[in-house]
Each structure stands twice: as C-alpha cells, then as structure tokens.
Amino acid sequence: MPASASPAPVTVVGLGDMGTALARAFLTAGHPVTVWNRSAAKADPLVAEGAVRAASPAAAVEASPLVVACVLDYPALREALGSAESRLDGRTLVNLTNGTPEEAQETGAWARGLGAAYIDGGIMAVPAMIGTPDAAVLYSGDASAFGRHEAALRVLGPASFLGPADGTAALNDIALLTGMYGLLGGFVHAAALIRSEGAADGSEGGSVTEFTENRLLPWLTAMTGILPALARQVDSGDFRTEGSGLAMQLRAYENFLSASRARGVRTDLIAPFHALMERALSAGAGPSDDVSALVDTLRDGRG
C-alpha cells in the first residue's frame, strides 16, 4: 500500500473469539470493516466500534475486495458462504479457519471456480495476541493476491507466505500444533507422576507448580536446543548420534513405563513412543541412531 493510500475495506466473516479479534485489529488499523456472523448479535460490539453489519453473507462479500473468513471448520465456511457464491467473483478470500491441507485444496478449487483468488491461512496465536508482534500467521495459495493484500494482512500480526500450494499453510499449522501437543502431553504425564508422589500412603502429591518452575521448564528449555541437530539428521538421512543412541533410550524408556504403572499413572501418552522405538530398531534403525530415525518409521503409516 503506498504511504498516502488509506487502508482498504475488509470484510470479516465469522465473529467467534478469533473472528472478533481479527475484525477489531482491522478496525484499530483504520480499515473500513464489514462484518457478518451467523448469530447476528455477536456483531454488536464491533458495530459499536465502527464496523458495518452486513445483512447477509452475500452483502458482506460484496462490500470489500478482501474477505477474511474465520469460522469453526471448513463445512461451516461453505455453509456460511454458500449463499454468497455468486458474489465471490473478483474477490480475494483469505480463509483463516483451521482445517486439513486436503480441505484447503478443495476450498481453493471451489473459490477459484467462482472467480475468486484464494489464500489459506493458519493462525499461530490466541485471540488476545492478534494485532501484536506475537501473532504469527501462515499463508499459502495465490501469491499475487497475497502481494496485493499483504499490508492489510500484516495488521493481524507477522505474516509468512509459505508458497503457492493451498495446503501448505494448513500442513505447517497442523505440524506446529502437533509439536505443541507433544509438549503438552509430556507435561501432563510428568505432572501425573509428580502428583503420584506419596499417593500410596495417602499423603498429598508433590507440587506440580514447584516442579514445573524449578525443574521442568529449565529442562525443556535446554532440550529444545537439540531440535536443529535432530532436524538436520532427518533431512540428511544420517541419524547417527554421538550421545544418545536408540538402544540406550529404549532401555531407559522401559523404566518410564514401569515407574508410571507402579504409581497407577496410565501410560497412554508415553507408551506409543516406546512402541515406535521398538519398531524402528526391529525395522533396521541402528542402536546408535537418534530418535530422528523414528520419523521414517512413523511415515511408514502412510496410506
């Protein structure tokens, strides 16, 4: 956007927690904002802040060259925009709804078939972070449409364009979230172990707060440092480690399982990793390979 140009009109479809935060960020940045939500009352606070309430999805789409949608899921998106199909021609649809790469591809084909440019996105933020430097948003799809609307999209937070394939942003979004849930799963299991302390004699379990602040956080923070080396092993196919071979890790992991069982802590979260290590070793991974070798074993599950 040239320095002198005024912010372009934006339509936001879907005013749940996230859609409301998106619309508010556009308003704060001075964009004329038109909003539509299935439950119309959710637009009231934004209208009080200067947004225009569209009477229908079609009117919402017609109002702006840039339509940002953020609803529960892709079926909801198609339901929301179904009656606006004839108005999408010439518009850019930026879909920030969480979904699979396959859904992104189908939706991209649908939007292009209606004459719209399509950009799919993944929001790596909670609503309170929108409009701040902490709100990373991933995009992929129509590169020239992204270029045309980049200034507006940067209002939401730092924007990364990952390439022309509709599904790339969704795949990266899901990979990042599965990485996060791995971390959360590890926390849940570790906390259950700490709470189990003293359970046999009926006394109160250990303090998870004390454990987390003094030991878990420093440990995990230090351990994130090994990820780039593991990533290089995955990319190169050379999984050999100088420090922590799979055979040693498998033996230690057996202790994690027995100590958990002895304390009545379910192993649902950690047992699959043990099974994967066993599978990798019996499928030919070397005893001195690192856990990076498990990536190939996991990918055998394709199809």
List residues near ligand FVH by CB under 6 A: 14-19, 37-39, 42, 70-73, 76, 79-80, 97-98, 123, 126-127
Q: Name the minimum Å distance from CB 184 to ligand FVH.
A: 14
Compare residues 40 and 226 and give the one whose CB is closer to ligand FVH. 40
Q: Output the smallest distance, CB 53 to ligand FVH, in A.
A: 14
The residue type at 104: A
Closest to ligand FVH by CB, 33 or 291: 33
Query: Of 98, 99, 140, 97, which Cα lies nearest the Cα of 118?
Result: 140
189 CB neighbour count, 10 Å cutoff: 18
> In the complex, what is the shortest distance from the CB of residue 105 to ligand FVH, in angstroms, rounded to a whole number?
17
**Among residues 97 and 297, whose Cβ is nearest to ligand FVH?**
97
With b for 16 or more beta-carbon neighbours within 10 A and e for fewer, the 227-252 pattern comes to eeebeebbeeeebebeeebbeebbee
Nearer to ligand FVH, 79 or 296 (CB): 79
Residue 42 or 274: which CB sits closer to ligand FVH? 42
Residue type, 69: A
CB of 86 to ligand FVH, least distance (A): 18
Question: Whole-number minimum distance, CB 9 to ligand FVH, in Å?
Answer: 20
What are the DSSP calls for 221-246, one per residue? Answer: HHHGGGHHHHHHHHHHT--B-SS--H
- In whole angstroms, give the CA distance from residue 256 to residue 207: 20
H or E stretch including 61? Answer: helix 57-63
Q: Are 205 and 192 in contact (CB under 8 A)?
A: no
